[in-house]
Amino acid sequence: MDIAQILACLEQLQENNNKPWMDMHKPAYQQARNTVLAIADCLIKGLTTSEPALGQLLPKDCVFRINRDIRFSKDKTPYKSYMGLYIAQGGKKSDYAGYYLHIAPHDQSFIAGGLYQPEPAVLKQVRQEIDYNAVALSNILDEPRFKKLFGDLQGEKLQRAPKDYPTHHPHIEWLKLKSFTALHLLTDSKVIQPGFVDHTLATFQALQPLNQFLNTALEH
């Protein structure tokens, strides 16, 4: 897989974010997209061994479009300056916790997982699961490999305790979160290494316990 070509294409796109340039360089963009689809295919197959439900997904179900939604944005550049894929039950638009790969030049790539800005009803369910089963979440986050790859949970937080939870709750900082994500940063040199897809799959697999915890909350 020519992952270096993806970064090169995106770097040029960042400098020429307009439709005439894209029209002239469509073959290079399509080559980059096809590589991302191939990466998605490998990752889906790798995850399916332990999560059979993901085997129903096709790569196109998981890879995001390059076009930006500019209807309500002050930034009218038509294209994203990165490529991304999200593997979860139901595909890239799923409400389930899943696995995200973000490819962007200038050391801006990353691997992530969990739930990003869930709807209020989902957020309420996750907070309830944390309240009821914080020991399980603590064990997941304290696992040495998880700590090494991701550190702690990340996400925007409320300034105050959410409704129905006291400020002195022992896990109030988790309950304040509005997203429940784990993040593993990548340099360009890491992305273009021959073992990048294997590294991504192994990192996704380290996220599985967190995603299972979050998805259990959604299924209650």
- What average pLDDT is seen over the chain? 94
According to the model, what pLDDT value does residue 218 have? 86
Whether 209 shows a pLDDT value over 90: the answer reads yes
Residue 40 banded pLDDT, cuts 50, 70, 90: very high
The pLDDT value recorded for residue 76 is: 83
pLDDT in tens, 56-88: 999 999 999 999 887 878 888 999 999 999 999
pLDDT at 6: 97
Q: What ranges in the chain are assigned the alpha helix state H?
A: 3-15, 19-24, 26-48, 59-62, 120-142, 144-150, 172-175, 188-191, 196-219
Q: Give the C-alpha separation, 16 to 201, whole Å.
A: 32
pLDDT band at 164 (very low <50, low <70, confident <90, very high): confident
Give the pLDDT of residue 96: 94
Closest CA to 150 of 115, 113, 199: 113
Q: Say how many CA atoms lie within 13 Å of 36 toward its Cβ.
A: 29
The CATH number corresponding to 3-219 among 3.30.40, 3.30.930, 3.30.1490, 3.30.160 equals 3.30.930
Among 79, 92, 109, 87, smallest CA distance to 4 is for 109
Residue 50 CA to residue 53 CA, distance in Å, equals 9
DSSP state of 53: G
Determine the pLDDT at residue 1. 80
- Confidence (pTM): 0.94
The confidence score (pLDDT) of residue 138 equals 96
Give the pLDDT score at 104.
97
Domain boundaries along the sequence of the chain: 3-219
Average pLDDT for residues 89-102, to the nearest whole number? 94
